[in-house]
Amino acid sequence: MDAQMLPSLIVIWLTFAQSIHSECVNESVVALPVTEVVLSNEHTVRGVPISVGTPPTNISFLPEAVYNDTWIYNSTEDFCNWTTPAACFTLRGGLYDTNSSTATLKDDVQDAGADASDTERATGPNIWYNSWATDDLSFGEVKLTDYPLGMPGFDIFTPYNSPKDQAQIGLGSNSTFLTALKEAGKILSRSYSWWFGLVGAIADAQMDGLLAFGGYDTAKVTGNNYTKALAPSSMSCTSGMNVIVSDLVLNFPNGTDASIISPYSGLSSCIRPDFPGIFTFPWDPYYNSFEALTATTNIGREQGTGGYGGMLYWPGEVYFGDLTIEIDSFFKIRIPNELLVIHPSNIVDNGRTQYNDTVREVLLDPTVGVNKGDTSILGRHFFQAAYLLVNYDSDSFTIWQANATTESSLVSLGNECPDPGSKVAKNDTSGSNTAHSTSSSLPSATDEGTPDTSDDAIPENSSESNGISSEAIAGIAVAAAFVSGGLVVLAVLYILRRRKRQATLASADSSTQLTPANQSNGYDFSGQPPVYEPMSQEMQEMGGDAQAREMSADQKPIELSIQKSNASHRTTAYELGSP
């Protein structure tokens, strides 16, 4: 064996040994559905269901990529001066009443034990005016006691932030929520993954999504991944997830394609899973190009309560094709028309969400005026067709094409195994998403979930014997056998490599292998990915036990107001038909 081969073999052997070490047993991924959450007013709003306080109040939360704390609107200060109290209750995803709960009021953010960065008096997405309490949070099989809750002292909307209409789980780099889960032994890594689910215009384009903490769902991803290092938070991209949208391609029903961006340059963009809509980008020249290529003319911007701020068109005069978003000239996400074009929604005075069938909304948000030079945003509805993983332990984020399915196969991230003598909860799931968990520092397509056959946590006598337990001995024996076998395999591979040094190496499937962040602009060069359509497989409607959107067959559509009375709540008001 050549001496120069020894370092490579040592690295391979150490990687193999590390992979054995990272195969932990009975660790958890906390997975929650993104669904139509039923509130105490019996109306629904899409989000993540979490019960707050005792007696529990069901609140619909959304993840927030910038804030570090958890924010919830107080029932005494809902800041909805443009609509009714009933509509505001739905818009906020429910309201928190500290007087009817076990809440303990706190003097300030430090007294509550939360992260003070959200409240700093500095330029940026900061909540200067606020009040605090600690209370219990319950979700799935998890309960966090004396958890800090911030209550904003104003409607959370600044030039640096998206509209925060409902309660927010802060998942920034110093997230109190992720820290609490890790300290409680529920997750191994400070990571989260996000798929918004489907909220399309037809029944087959509606499906619950998933917000997972400590890992991700391999069943809901497909194709090669795009992995890149997180950048420091900045005014232009507060989430630190910077990408270049190199092209926007219109995929017409007749099979032809047309570029919106060519011959212009690509768009510096920021990934914001909390921001409504698919993509924000300058009206001139890009949205002008969109309307010219599609031969369409908008009739105004959607401004309904709880809406998404997209552009409105008459049903027969809207774009009927798909949209492919290309990142860094290689990675592509295709958004089918049923997710791009929807029926606009509006929360009416009685708190119900109603849909307008007389117009269509394209979930694109062209920026004009003072916002024209803003960094473009890939927002919440982009993650109908894409799946996001953020891992703060590795300072990286990963994107896949989403695989729209109700199946689930959770993989936890983290190299440290929990103390075998401690009780660690099983996978925490709720709704129809029930799965088992495996752990790997580098998850791959061959990772399989191992069913947890017990109904409780690890039995107390499972590792409390004196000396080395039988399970540990068995584990050592298995590990030794694997290591020995691995060395034999390495020797055989070395011989074959010398004999066939010039042969072409077979490519391996890396559809769910996390690509280390590198200097290649984040692209996984294991193979240029094809364009996948998340709707190409057979779709499934939401389970019968899920509360669907509230639009009955006999419900008459209503006309949306093009502008709210306080149009500045979401964006600058625009005149119909003009940029």
User: Looking at residue 246, which CATH number applies to its domain?
Assistant: 2.40.70.10
**pLDDT of the residue at 547:** 42
Other beta carbons within 10 Å of 23 = 16
| Whether residue 257 sits in one domain with residue 191 | no
| 536, part of any domain | yes
| Whether residue 179 sits in one domain with residue 309 | no
Please choose, from the candidates 144, 184, 141, 156, the residue with its C-alpha nearest in 3D space to the C-alpha of residue 54. 144
Other beta carbons within 10 Å of 258 = 16
Task: Find the helix or strand (DSSP H, E) in which 339 lies.
Answer: helix 337-340
Tokens of 333: 């996400």
**pLDDT of the residue at 478:** 42
In this structure, what DSSP letter does residue 568 have?
Answer: G
Determine the straight-line distance between the first and last CA of the chain, rounded to whole angstroms. Answer: 70
- Enclosing domain of residue 235: 221-390+516-569
3-state secondary structure of 266: coil
| Whether residue 34 sits in one domain with residue 69 | yes
Q: What is the rounded distance in angstroms from the CA atom of residue 14 to the CA atom of residue 522?
A: 25
Q: How long is the chain?
A: 579
3-state secondary structure of 4: helix
Q: What is the rounded distance in angstroms from the CA atom of residue 346 to the CA atom of residue 358?
A: 13
* Strands 209-213, 191-195: pairing kind: antiparallel
Q: What is the rounded distance in angstroms from the CA atom of residue 103 to the CA atom of residue 97?
A: 9
In this structure, what DSSP letter does residue 116 have?
Answer: G
Q: What is the rounded distance in angstroms from the CA atom of residue 443 to the CA atom of residue 148?
A: 33
Q: What is the rounded distance in angstroms from the CA atom of residue 176 to the CA atom of residue 550?
A: 34
| 469, part of any domain | no
| 371, part of any domain | yes
| Whether residue 228 sits in one domain with residue 141 | no
| Whether residue 237 sits in one domain with residue 364 | yes
Q: What is the rounded distance in angstroms from the CA atom of residue 474 to the CA atom of residue 456?
A: 23
In this structure, what DSSP letter does residue 96 have?
Answer: B
| 423, part of any domain | no
Half-sphere CA count of 156, side-chain side, radius 13 A? 30
Q: What is the rounded distance in angstroms from the CA atom of residue 356 to the CA atom of residue 479?
A: 61
Give me the helices (H) in 143-286, please.
Answer: 176-183
| Whether residue 126 sits in one domain with residue 35 | yes
List C-alpha distances in Å: 499 to 140, 245, 250: 56, 45, 49
Cis-peptide into 163, omega within 30 deg? no
Q: What is the rounded distance in angstroms from the CA atom of residue 413 to the CA atom of residue 440?
A: 6
| Whether residue 184 sits in one domain with residue 117 | yes
| 210, part of any domain | no
| Whether residue 225 sits in one domain with residue 150 | no
**pLDDT of the residue at 351:** 87
**pLDDT of the residue at 512:** 52
Other beta carbons within 10 Å of 501 = 7
| 463, part of any domain | no
Q: What is the rounded distance in angstroms from the CA atom of residue 431 to the CA atom of residue 286?
A: 41
**pLDDT of the residue at 77:** 74
Q: Where on the phi/psi map is residue 357: left (φ > 0), alpha (ψ -120 to 50), or beta?
A: alpha
Question: Cβ distance 421 to 464 under 8 Å?
Answer: yes
| Whether residue 179 sits in one domain with residue 286 | no
3-state secondary structure of 383: helix
**pLDDT of the residue at 80:** 78
**Three-state secondary structure readout of 551-565:** CCCCCCCCCCCCCCC
**pLDDT of the residue at 544:** 40
Q: What is the rounded distance in angstroms from the CA atom of residue 422 to the CA atom of residue 482?
A: 27
Task: Find the helix or strand (DSSP H, E) in which 289 lies.
Answer: helix 288-294
| Whether residue 327 sits in one domain with residue 265 | yes
Residue type, 171: L
The last residue of a domain, from among 160, 195, 230:
195
The last residue of a domain, from among 148, 179, 195:
195
Tokens of 301: 């911007």
* Strands 386-391, 396-402: pairing kind: antiparallel
| Whether residue 191 sits in one domain with residue 269 | no
**pLDDT of the residue at 369:** 85
**pLDDT of the residue at 381:** 96
Q: What is the rounded distance in angstroms from the CA atom of residue 342 to the CA atom of residue 356?
A: 10
What are the strands, taking DSSP E only, across 119-220? 130-139, 142-152, 167-170, 191-195, 198-199, 206-207, 209-213, 215-217
Question: Cβ distance 314 to 360 under 8 Å?
Answer: yes
Query: Phi and psi (nearest 5°) for 396?
Result: -145, 165
Given a cut of 50, the residues of the chain with pLDDT beneath it are 2-26, 157-163, 419-483, 488-489, 492, 495, 498-511, 518-579
| 232, part of any domain | yes
Question: Cβ distance 48 to 196 under 8 Å?
Answer: no
Residue type, 475: G
Please choose, from the candidates 107, 102, 127, the residue with its C-alpha nearest in 3D space to the C-alpha of residue 117. 127
**pLDDT of the residue at 99:** 85
**pLDDT of the residue at 451:** 36
| 447, part of any domain | no
The last residue of a domain, from among 195, 213, 231:
195
Question: Cβ distance 528 to 520 under 8 Å?
Answer: no
The domain total for the chain is 2
**pLDDT of the residue at 217:** 97
| Whether residue 189 sits in one domain with residue 227 | no
